Amino acid sequence: MKKSIVTAGVAAIVLSFSVSAECRQRAAKQQVSKAPVVEYQSASNPNARTLSDFVRVGDIIYLSGKLGTGSDGKLVEGGIKAETKQTLENIKALLEKNGSSIDNVVKCTVMLADIKEWADMNSVYVTFFKKERLPARSAFGTSGLVNSARVEIECMATMK
């Protein structure tokens, strides 16, 4: 009887270790499969400039800084308000084209050629977002922007 109890005990211990090892292997596989997928827009765009317009990491899309350029690639005329409106229209279009929306923006960084234009930029900026869903934001003045732009905005958004 003692021998069978010892044998049963050893079998239980071996089974316990085996089940534990199998659980650890499953957990490790699940963690590997949970690694976020990273998608670079430039990888699918042979005409990409020296940057990706966006990079998607899992359920977050990171947009490079956008300017207030029209379809012709030139800055819109009319100063900071017109540029801010066009910049945000460009951001909105890019997000929608890639599975997100302006309503999913969680963070923006605004770069201004002249920080004194912050109030004018802001008066347009806030019209693009729901009051109860304003993204986190940073804004700062620079010593100049590409193409003599007045404003450049980069954003992060969740996917729909």
Amino acid at 150: R
CA–CA separation, 71 and 112 (whole Å): 22
Q: Count Cβ atoms within 10 A of the Cβ of residue 160 and give its class: 0-12 exposed, 13-18 middle, 19 or more buried.
A: exposed
Give pTM, 2 decimals.
0.76
Domain 38-158, what architecture?
Answer: 2-Layer Sandwich (3.30)
Asked whether the CA dihedral 22, 28, 32, 36 is positive or negative, the reply is positive
Question: How would you write the pLDDT of the chain (160 residues) with one tens digit per residue?
Answer: 556 555 655 555 655 556 566 656 776 666 555 778 888 876 666 666 677 889 999 999 999 999 999 999 999 999 999 999 999 999 999 999 999 999 999 999 999 999 999 999 999 999 999 999 999 999 999 999 999 999 999 999 999 8
